[in-house]
A and B are shown apart, each in its own frame.
Chain A
Amino acid sequence: MNRRRDELAPPGLSAGALTDRVSATVLGTRPPRAWWLALGLATLLSLLFLVGVVYVLSVGVGAFGLNIPVAWGFPIINTIWWIGIAHAGTLISAVLWLTRQDWRASISRSAEAMAMFAIVLAGSYPLLHLGRPQFAYFLLPYPNLMDLWPQWRSPLVWDFFAIASYLLFTASFLFLSLLPDLASLRDRARHRAVQRFYGVLALGWRNSARHWHRYQQAHRVLAVIAVPIVVSVTGTISLDLAVSIVPGFHFTIFPPYFVAGALYSGFATVAIIAIVLRALFGFRDLITRAHLNRLGIMMLCFVLVVDYAYLQEVFTAFYTGEDFYRSVYYDRWTGPYAPFYWGMILCNVVLAQGLWFRRLRESVPGLLCLAVIAEIGMWLERFQIVITSTHKDYMPSAWDTVTPSAWDWLTYAGSIGVFVVLLLLFIKLMPAISMHDMREMLHRRKQREADHG
Chain B
Amino acid sequence: MSSIIAREHGTDMAALRRKLAGRSGRHYWRSLEELADSDDFQRLLEEEFPRLAPLWEGRVSRRGLLGLMAASLALGGLTGCKPQPEERIAPYTRRPEDLLPGRARWYASTLPLDGYARGVLVKTFQGRPVKVEGNPEHPASLGATDSIAQAEILGLYDPDRSQTIRYQGTAGSDAAFLEQLQAQRRHWAAGERRLCLLTGPLTSPSQHALIERLKRLYPSTRWYRHEPLANGAAHQGTRQLFGEPREARYRLDRARVILDLDADMLGSGPAKLVHARHAMGRRRPDREDALLNRLYSVESTPSITGASSDHRLPLAAAEVPALAAALAARLGVPGMADQAENSPVDPAWLDALADDLRRAGAEAVVIPGDTQPAALHALAHAINHHLGAAGTSVEYSAPVAPAADGDLADLSRAMGEDRVDALLMLNVNPVYNAPAGLAFEERLARVPFSVHCGQYRDETGRAALWHLPAAHPLESWDDARAFDGTVSLMQPTIVPLFGGYTAQQVLAAFAGRYRADPRELVREHWRQALPGADFERHWHSALQRGWIDGTALPTSLPTLRNTPPPPPPTDRDGLLLQWRADPALHDGHYANNGWLQELPRPLTQLTWDGAALISPALAEREGLSEGQRVRLTLAGRSLDTPVWIQPGQPARAITLFLGQGRRDAGRVGNGVGVNAYRLMPDHGAFAAGGVTLEVLGDRAALASTQQHHNMAGRDLLRETDLAHFQEEPGFAQPDRVEEPISLYPEWDYPDHAWGMSIDLNSCIGCNACITACQAENNIPIVGPEEVRRGREMHWIRVDRYYAGPLDDPSMHFQPVPCMHCEKAPCEYVCPVEATQHSSEGLNEMIYNRCVGTRYCSQNCPYKVRRFNWYHYTEATAELATPAAAHNPDVTVRSRGVMEKCTYCVQRINQAETDARNEDRPLEDGELRTACQQVCPSEAIEFGDLNDRHSAVSRAKASPLNYAMLEELNTRPRTTYLAGVRNPNPAIQALEAREAPA
Contact = CB atoms under 8 A, between A and B. Distances in A.
Interface of A: 59-63, 65-72, 129-133, 135-136, 138-139, 148-151, 153-157, 160, 240, 243-246, 249, 323, 327, 334-336, 339, 390, 393-407
Contact of A334 (B42, B51, B849, B853): B42
A336 B30 contact: no
Given A132-B897, A155-B829, A403-B51, 5 more contacts: A68-B865, A138-B831, A139-B831, A156-B829, A405-B57
Interface residues of B, number: 69
Contact of B853 (A69, A130, A395): A130
Contact of A65 (B53, B814, B829, B870): B53
**Residue in B51, B831, B850 whose Cβ sees the most chain A Cβ within 10 Å:** B831
A315 to B, nearest CB: 21
Nearest to B4: A339
B327 to A, nearest CB: 37
B349 interface: no
A135 B851 contact: yes
Nearest to A135: B851
B50 A68 contact: no
A393 B828 CA distance: 19
A70 B829 CA distance: 16
B2 A131 contact: no
Given A138-B832, A327-B712, A400 B51 contact: yes
15 contacts: A62-B786, A67-B790, A69-B857, A131-B868, A133-B851, A139-B851, A148-B849, A150-B831, A155-B829, A156-B855, A240-B855, A395-B863, A401-B49, A401-B51, A401-B790
Contact of A151 (B5, B789, B830): B830
A413 to B, nearest CB: 14
Given A60-B871, A246-B858, A397-B799, A153 B790 contact: no
Contacts of B855: 154, 156, 240, 244
Nearest to B853: A156
B55 interface: yes
A interface, by DSSP: helix, strand, loop or mixed?
Answer: loop
B825 interface: yes
Contacts of A334: 42
A67 B852 contact: no
A401 B862 CA distance: 16
Contact of A403 (B53, B799, B828, B896): B53
A44 B950 CA distance: 67
B853 A399 contact: no
Interface stretch (B162-170, B661-669, B703-711): B703-711
B56 A405 contact: yes
A243 B2 CA distance: 32
Contacts of B814: 397
A76 to B, nearest CB: 10
Contacts of A403: 1-2, 50-53
A222 to B, nearest CB: 29
B33 to A, nearest CB: 10
B701 to A, nearest CB: 12
A59 B52 contact: no
Of all A-B residue pairs in the complex, the 8 with the closest CB atoms, nearest first, are A131-B852, A131-B896, A62-B869, A398-B863, A67-B790, A71-B854, A397-B799, A156-B831
B59 interface: yes
A130 B867 CA distance: 12
A130 B898 CA distance: 11
Interface of B: 1-2, 4-5, 30, 42, 45-46, 49-53, 55-57, 59-60, 706-714, 716, 786, 789-791, 797, 799, 814, 816, 825, 828-833, 849-855, 857-859, 861-863, 865-871, 895-898, 965, 968
Given A245-B825, A393-B861, A403-B2, A130 B832 contact: no
Contacts of B831: 138-139, 150-151, 154, 156-157, 160
**Residue in A63, A153, A154 whose Cβ sees the most chain B Cβ within 10 Å:** A154
Nearest to B814: A397
B621 to A, nearest CB: 27
A71 B858 contact: yes
Contacts of A406: 55-57
Nearest to A131: B852
A63 B849 CA distance: 22
A60 B714 contact: no
B59 A63 contact: yes
Contacts of A155: 829
Contact of A397 (B30, B56, B59): B30
Nearest to B799: A397
A334 B833 CA distance: 38
Contacts of B858: 69, 71-72, 244, 246, 249, 390
B interface, by DSSP: helix, strand, loop or mixed?
Answer: loop
Contacts of B708: 399
Contact of A62 (B50, B57, B716, B832): B57
Contact of A67 (B709, B789, B965): B789
B665 to A, nearest CB: 27
B791 A396 contact: no
Contacts of B50: 336, 401-403
B5 A336 contact: yes
B849 to A, nearest CB: 7
Contacts of B52: 403
Contacts of A160: 831
Nearest to B863: A398
A117 B870 CA distance: 31
B27 to A, nearest CB: 13
Contact of A131 (B46, B53, B867, B965): B867
B872 to A, nearest CB: 9
A249 to B, nearest CB: 8
Contacts of B861: 245, 393-395
Given A139-B851, A154-B829, A394 B897 contact: no
Contacts of B60: 59
B55 A151 contact: no
B832 A66 contact: no
B857 A407 contact: no
Contacts of A249: 858
B896 A154 contact: no
B59 A59 contact: yes
A335 B51 CA distance: 14
B867 A153 contact: no
Contacts of A397: 30, 706, 709, 716, 797, 799, 814, 816
A61 B712 contact: no
Given A62-B869, A405-B55, A69 B863 contact: yes
Contacts of B897: 131-132
A400 to B, nearest CB: 4
Nearest to A151: B833
A328 B850 CA distance: 30
Contacts of A398: 706, 709, 862-863
Contacts of A246: 858-859
Contacts of B707: 400
B869 A396 contact: no
A408 B897 CA distance: 20
Contacts of A151: 828, 830-833
Nearest to A390: B858
Nearest to A393: B861
Given A129-B853, A130-B852, A393-B863, A154 B828 contact: yes
Contacts of B53: 65, 403, 405
**Residue in A243, A394, A407 whose Cβ sees the most chain B Cβ within 10 Å:** A394
Nearest to B782: A62
Nearest to A403: B50
**Residue in A135, A249, A336, A393 whose Cβ sees the most chain B Cβ within 10 Å:** A336
**Residue in B1, B709, B870 whose Cβ sees the most chain A Cβ within 10 Å:** B1
B426 to A, nearest CB: 44
A132 B870 contact: no
B896 A60 contact: yes
Nearest to B708: A399
Nearest to A63: B57
Nearest to B870: A62
